[in-house]
Chain A
Amino acid sequence: MDLIFDAFKVRKSQGKQFVPDVRAANPVGFRGLPVISNTPCGSGCNKCVEDCPTNAIQLSPFSLDLGKCVFCDECARVCPSQKVSFTAGYRMASRTPEGLVMREGSNSLGPVEASEQIKKLFGRSLKLRSVSAGGCNGCELEVNAMANVNFDMGRYGIDIVASPRHSDGLILSGPISANMAVALELCYEGMPDPKFVIAVGACAISGGVFEESVALDRSFLGRFAPELYVAGCPPHPLSIVNGILDLMGHADGRW
């Protein structure tokens, strides 16, 4: 009998935890979407390039590739002209890797274009299978978090499922280690058509900090180009959920 009351207490302490509108959330303190100012770079200055751990920055003209960026903030702090500053913005997804490149004067990425086909087929129910291929457990924890009581993606009809046979999309995390390449492809082959891939995190998109490793085999991406790329190291659950909602053609984040 006591246990029943204890269960009620837990329920009461839980309260309402969900983010009411994932489109208009405010993750205070998050080091996310960078803003690139129009201030010209100092002549001959390449301090940001020297310190960037993933060669995400190109100069003249300046660009920052969020598909490579690990959001370490080094560029922002070494830059004498405050060219880059990071904000709490979390809308960091694109249909193409090129779409993640930010240029001078930009303060947002373009909106993720909805896929008419995905909207029609999976707009109301999307089942996803996660495959970690060398992922460090950062992306995996954030993919898991999408389903928790806070981000609760289940309310939009998006679920993680246990079997490739039940899934419509494959969430890929990690730089694709050579030892995992075969299993990844088998998993994708095991999914019924129609199906697609979502690349989550800098490692999956570009190899990230592991780009130079000889123990990778990224040929899978050449054969099965992802429909969606979500930036971050690891991406915030809000980045992934919003990217997927955009892809599915959800007009707003309410349900």
Chain B
Amino acid sequence: MSITNVLLANKSDLETLSYDAFRTRIKSDTVAGNRLVSFFATPSPSAPDQVGELHCVSIKSGRLCHFRSIWSSGVKYQQLTSEVHAIHCFEREVHEQFGLEMPGHPWLKPIRFEGKALKRMNDYPFYKLEGKEVHEVGVGPIHAGVIEPGHFRFMCFGETVEHLEIHLGYQHRGVEAMLPKTSLRKISPLIESIAGDTAVGYALGFCRAMEALCGLTVADEVESIRGIASELERIAMHLVGLGGLATDVAFLPGSSTYGRIRTAIINLSMRLCGSRFGRSWFRPGELRFPFLQSHRDDIRKTLGQVQKDISIINKLFQESKTVQHRLKTTGAVPAKLAEEIGLVGMAARASHLNRDLRTELKSGVYAKFPIDLITEPDGDCWSRGMVRLREIDVSIEWILKVCESLGDVEAGSRVDYSPRPNSRVVSVEEGWRGEVFHYLETGDMGQLTRYKVQDPSIRNWFGLAQAVKSNAIYDFPICNKSFDLSYCGNDL
């Protein structure tokens, strides 16, 4: 199978531009409609706390592009956010990680209060509105439900939210610093814990990056099983999201039924690999657990039943006036805004953008078995709910089709990893929430020298802040649930 969601290069072969050309290229690419995937810095070999190189990854007519600029400290960095809004979170991250000065940048708020800013979250001055009838509402870091921590600061006029500032970093565990120090034999469980609700999405991105670096190939059947695992994760998490939306609008049949259907799906994953979250299912170059006739029968039987049950609850959910009333027109992000701020994944598709790596890059099993792109027109909470509801149906059908094509696949045996030296690899994977990005760099001995990870959430949190503007504050929970973003994925 042709893997098009990974790019491998020798350290010296990577397209290298002067800083001016690099900057111009990002701008002209944006004008040309190329999609920015990531922008990040790597440290200087001589001074690890300073920028050594700037990197940009984008998608141009269905292909991944990666180029860099070697940074020299004498140059003045000129911020791009004012012109290319979608880059704002990345520039903030580079500023936070390396202290690179960015004069004129509109908003250098720390992404996650790491390094020197650790434990200094309370010193941060929030943006304030003033006026006799304006009031401020602070929510979190601990929330009413069982969810991860984050702080939301609202400036309201009456019940209307005029401004929301999202304050994250509570989940920061120092993942990027840990990754290059961790032995490759032991690293996988750490990767699966970057955002535990996307364990499969992260594992697959890592596997493909490592396979490129180590020159490993896996059988087409294994790629197919990886696709099945990834779609099962998507279905399960979309069911969590729909159940959450139903709970938040007090639609109890949805809350309980989507919840128990999710149990059926994750228990299926458990019977396939031992974990309800698909943990340890895959390692670079191998499939850990056999995939046999009994498993295929189980998939057909379980998904057949789910198809039947879900159509009954979907009908009630979609036709219920209370659900429609709460979700339609609430928290809308129009397509133009979504494009401008660089939304990705299912939130982007709900705002009518064709952003789905499975259909854009058609890598591996998605070339052999194309999957339907699902978009919705309005960008509101309803659209985000409907994208998820429809993607569940599409993923089930897709899994059943792929399953038909498979025979028995035995588990692989332990693979030794020897990454090639002085190389760089970029890998992207459409997780259930959006694109998961990995960048690995190796040194003279093939050891990892830099590991950059990026969760789709780092880009979409700002979408949530935009979505709640001019909405009533009591609609914040459903706006938040409809985006369903990761706190630890942002905080790393």
Contacts and interface: CB of A to CB of B under 8 A. Distances in A.
A45 interface: no
A161 B268 CA distance: 30
Interface stretch (A27-35, A58-66, A116-124, A243-251): A27-35
Contacts of A43: none
A35 to B, nearest CB: 15
Contacts of B197: 136-138, 141
B96 to A, nearest CB: 13
Interface string A1-41: 01100110111011001000000000111110000000000
Contacts of A181: 119
B172 to A, nearest CB: 5
Interface string A110-154: 000000000000000000001111111111111111001110000
Contacts of A162: 144-145
Given A3-B320, A138-B197, A209 B190 contact: yes
A203 B193 CA distance: 10
A215 B271 contact: no
Given A72-B188, A73-B288, A136 B141 contact: no
Nearest to B174: A215
B274 interface: yes
Nearest to A142: B276
B119 A137 contact: no
Interface string B423-449: 000000000000000000000000000
A212 B177 CA distance: 10
A148 B119 contact: no
Interface residues of A, number: 74
A29 B270 contact: yes
B141 A137 contact: no
Interface stretch (A47-55, A97-105, A220-228): A47-55
A53 B142 contact: no
Contact of B178 (A135, A163, A212): A212
A50 B185 contact: yes
B312 A178 contact: no
Given A72-B279, A138-B196, A213-B173, A132 B144 contact: no
A54 B182 CA distance: 11
Interface string A147-185: 011100000000010111000000000110111111100
A148 B263 contact: yes
A29 B263 contact: no
A54 B185 CA distance: 11
B148 A175 contact: no
Contacts of A160: 145-146
Interface in B126-155: 141-142, 144-149
Given A30-B274, A209-B193, A233-B279, A177 B170 contact: yes
A118 B434 CA distance: 44
Contacts of A177: 170-173, 491
A163 B143 CA distance: 9
B140 to A, nearest CB: 8
A203 B488 CA distance: 14
A13 B193 contact: no
Contact of B173 (A144, A210, A233): A210
Contact of A136 (B122, B194, B288, B313): B194
Contacts of B488: 134-137
Nearest to B121: A179
A160 B147 CA distance: 12
A138 B267 contact: no
Given A53-B188, A77-B414, A183 B147 contact: no
A188 to B, nearest CB: 11
Interface in A180-211: 180-183, 187, 203, 208-210
Contacts of A67: none
Nearest to B315: A6
A84 interface: no
B146 A149 contact: no
Contacts of A50: 185
B166 to A, nearest CB: 15
Interface stretch (B82-90, B252-260, B385-393, B397-405): B252-260
A51 B315 contact: no
A70 interface: yes
A236 B276 contact: yes
Contacts of B487: 137
Contact of B274 (A53, A73, A135, A179): A73
Nearest to A72: B280
A104 to B, nearest CB: 23
A137 B244 CA distance: 14
A102 B177 CA distance: 32
Nearest to A150: B263
A149 B260 contact: yes
A29 B173 contact: no
B186 interface: yes
Nearest to B186: A53
Given A179-B113, A183-B149, A215-B172, A137 B195 contact: yes
A71 interface: yes
A222 B69 CA distance: 48
B145 A14 contact: no
Nearest to B199: A138
B148 A132 contact: yes
Nearest to A29: B271
10 contacts: A6-B316, A27-B270, A71-B279, A136-B195, A138-B279, A148-B263, A162-B144, A208-B193, A216-B174, A217-B119
The 3 closest A-B CB pairs, nearest first, are A138-B196, A31-B274, A136-B196
